[in-house]
Amino acid sequence: MIPQRPTDASPDLATAPFRQVVLSSVEYHLLHDGPDKTKQELDRQAWFYSACDGWPQLKREVDDMILQFRLSHGQTAPADTGQPLENTILKKYHNGRLIDFKALQIAIYKCFISQLQFHYDWLALWRILYDLRLLEDTCLESFAKQMNNWFRGLLKPCKADSMGDYANPYLGNTEHRLWTEAAFRLHQTKKQSITGYRRLDHLCDTLMEALSCFAP
Reported as a pLDDT band with limits 50, 70 and 90, residue 72 is: low
Q: What's residue 82's pLDDT?
A: 58
3-state secondary structure of 87: coil
Reported as a pLDDT band with limits 50, 70 and 90, residue 43 is: confident
74 pLDDT higher than 90 = no
166 pLDDT higher than 90 = yes
CA nearest neighbour of 78 among 125, 31, 130, 39: 39
Q: What is the mean pLDDT of residues 22-50?
A: 80
Q: What's residue 153's pLDDT?
A: 73
55 pLDDT higher than 60 = yes
Sign, CA dihedral 102-107-108-109, equals: positive
Q: CB–CB of 175/138 below 8 Å? A: no
165 pLDDT higher than 80 = yes
Residue 64 CA, distance from chain mean position = 9
Q: CB–CB of 107/156 below 8 Å? A: no
Higher pLDDT, 170 or 73: 170
13 pLDDT higher than 50 = no
Average model confidence (pLDDT) across the chain = 83
C-alpha to C-alpha distances, 29 to 25, 41, 193, nearest whole angstrom: 6, 10, 40
Q: CB–CB of 78/109 below 8 Å? A: yes
Residue 28 is given by DSSP the state: H
Q: What is the mean pLDDT of residues 177-191?
A: 97
For the entire predicted model, the pTM comes to 0.67
Q: Which residues pair with 135 in a beta bridge?
A: 90
Please write the tens of the pLDDT for every residue from 113-150: 878 889 999 999 999 999 999 999 999 999 999 999 99
Q: By mean pLDDT, which of 8-12, 81-85, 124-128, 155-159 is the weakest?
A: 8-12
Reported as a pLDDT band with limits 50, 70 and 90, residue 15 is: very low
Task: Tell me what percent of the residues of the chain surpass a pLDDT of 90.
Answer: 45
3-state secondary structure of 98: strand
**Residue 61: count of CB within 10 angstroms of its CB:** 16
Q: For the chain, give the longest Cα–Cα distance.
A: 61
Q: What's residue 77's pLDDT?
A: 53
